[in-house]
Structure 1
Amino acid sequence: MEKFTVKELENKFENFIFNIDDYLESIQNKAKSQGLDFDLSIKSVDLIEKYIVNNDITIENDDYNDLSAYLGEVIRRNFQNAQWKCNLDKENNSLYYGFPVIEGHSTEGILLSPFHLIKAFILRKKERLLLGAIESQINPELIDWSDFPTEK
């Protein structure tokens, strides 16, 4: 994503948001033809994994974009204050730089990249990876660092 200017990334993001309903409709229709109900509920997140496995989806496949948009919309619609954002923070969040991300879904101010989550599942095929990742951001387990040495 580094090869794009900030303006180009903003334009790509605006285009993504403008077309998001088309991405959703496309993947929902494909899923429906396979007996999967992509109803934008949290329960449908497990069906995303089933769809990816059944159709041998890769990141080069058009469904990768549609599934990422769908996952982001599930989170946006089911968690208060969740919204799409174009991540342009190179300094503090360079991993997601230039990607559409979800923010506001977690009390900890964490960004969630549906594109990176879908890619992780495509690569690992670990059951319940998507839902586990969402749950860990919604209800993060805080680490008690008090037993660890500090710098002096």
Structure 2
Amino acid sequence: MLAINHPVEDFSLPSTDNATFSLSANVGKHLIIYFYPKDDTPGCTLEGQDFRDHLPEFTKENCIVVGVSRDNLKSHQCFKAKMQFPFELLSDENEIVCNLFGVMKMKNMYGKQVLGIERSTFVIDVQGILRKEWRGVKVPGHVQEVLDFVTTLNQ
């Protein structure tokens, strides 16, 4: 399991740029990795739009933003194009990285218990160290909170 101020195990996932995204290939930049339940749903769309709209500010702070869900690459590519996301979406259909980050939770959906992704965000610093996590995220104001935190890493 992950721990704040400890290194994050390297991982790789297929990305919407038709390449493989890996943590180790992105050392030297802060990584904002946000996990969301499902492409093209209301909360996930709002969260992605908020990251999109704040991306220039994240870039200025030496950050890369990526979104992760269990949707397949085709779904991700359609969602990314529709919403004009300027960052990559990563497909974790086998829940390997979801399990690494501990975001799989039992949820109630229409009165049934289902296993799904708990909306969560993690900040990994330029050296691959986990610096902050947010679990059970509520979308309004969240991206600004992440940006405010990242700004403190560069001071």
TM-score normalised to structure 2 length: 0.29
Name the larger-Rg structure. Answer: 1
Query: Higher helix share goes to which structure?
Result: 1
Query: Higher strand share goes to which structure?
Result: 2
TM-score normalised to structure 1 length: 0.29
